Chain A
């Protein structure tokens, strides 16, 4: 990663995120968002994050793009624990535990 790219990203993301947060509080006052827009915004996190993760799980960079048993099982574990317990931290710890466990057994 080159330094100019990193700093540009930091400032652009910082300023842009502030403007998103400031939008209605700062400039648009107490006006409501149109219903169709809130309906779409509600699905932004589940629309962006799974698509970002999928290639990282299916073609992990650390294995040279080869699907890998430990990483696939770790991903499934995190998904299951997160969906069942609704606890982000349990899902992270469970997933990492499976990743290290399977890697240890296979090594």
Chain B
């Protein structure tokens, strides 16, 4: 393994502290929600995107239809289209198999460290860029799978009085809170909360999709206005 690979590895290593407890929590929550070990592991390996997995499990355990659970999970992951677009100029010339492998491992952490590296050193050859990307995921992916497994096994042994029902809301709040860094973000979050509570009576949890759409438009609208105001 070359220098670029180990540089990526070192850049990805600190995220172990985030990914391990997050995987553990997903394993516990999915198990408590009634998923068996195979289902929990299949989801964590196939989807490999924590927030959308929590969202889908939460909706399924609320008896939402599959379509709503899947649509909400995919909505949470739409940001990755942006990641894909921004890595394409750097990795788009790799062969199809490599690009598919990059796509599978394209998570918040690998994207953040890789795009920072590519923007700093845009002239590095393609094999170095690929090695850096896969290096960054080497400490992350196995821990994500492994700690989900530990959580799933442990989850079966945790009694319900530990109020883990509330671990999912707390986790989502913890993910969103640091993102409330500008007026458009705060306004979007506010519209999302208000509309989702107001529309909670709509069938099949569809109020959430409407609320999310309204919130997204609000954020983008204020963003545009602020940009125009600052010329």
On A, residues with C-beta under 8 Å from B are 1, 3, 5-18, 20-26, 28-33, 36, 38-62, 70-71, 74-75, 78-83, 85-89, 91-92, 95-96, 99-100, 103
Q: Is the CB of A21 within 8 A of B83?
A: yes
- What are the residues of chain B within 8 A of A7 when measuring CB–CB? 39, 42
How many residues of chain B get a CB closer than 8 Å to chain A's CBs? 96
Q: Are B103 and A89 in contact (CB under 8 A)?
A: no
Bound CA–CA A36/B221 (angstroms):
10
User: Quick one: which of B83, B168, B179 has the most chain A CB within 10 A?
Assistant: B179
In the complex, whether B4 has a CB less than 8 A from a CB of chain A is no
Hey, which bits of chain B sit against chain A, CB under 8 A?
A: 17-18, 21, 25, 33-35, 39, 42-43, 46-49, 51-53, 55-56, 58-63, 66, 69-70, 72-85, 87-89, 91-92, 96, 99-100, 102-104, 106, 163, 165-180, 184-185, 188-193, 195-197, 200, 208, 211-220, 223-224
Chain B interface main SS type: helix
Residues of chain B within 8 A (CB-CB) of A20 are 74, 77-78, 80-81, 84
Q: Is the CB of A82 within 8 A of B96?
A: no
